[in-house]
Amino acid sequence: MKQMQLSVKVIVTLFVLVVSLYLLDQCLHSMNQPSDLRLYSGLAGTLVLLVFVPALMWVIWSWGRRV
| pLDDT tens column, 11-20 | 999 999 999 9
Q: Report the C-alpha gap between 38 and 50 in whole angstroms.
A: 18
CA triple 63-22-51, angle to 5 deg: 50
Which residue, 3, 24, 1, 13, is CA-closest to 54? 13
Mean local confidence (pLDDT), 17-31: 97
**Residue 39 Cα to chain centre, angstroms:** 20
Q: Report the C-alpha gap between 23 and 30 in whole angstroms.
A: 10
> Does residue 67 surpass a pLDDT of 60?
no
pTM of the model: 0.85
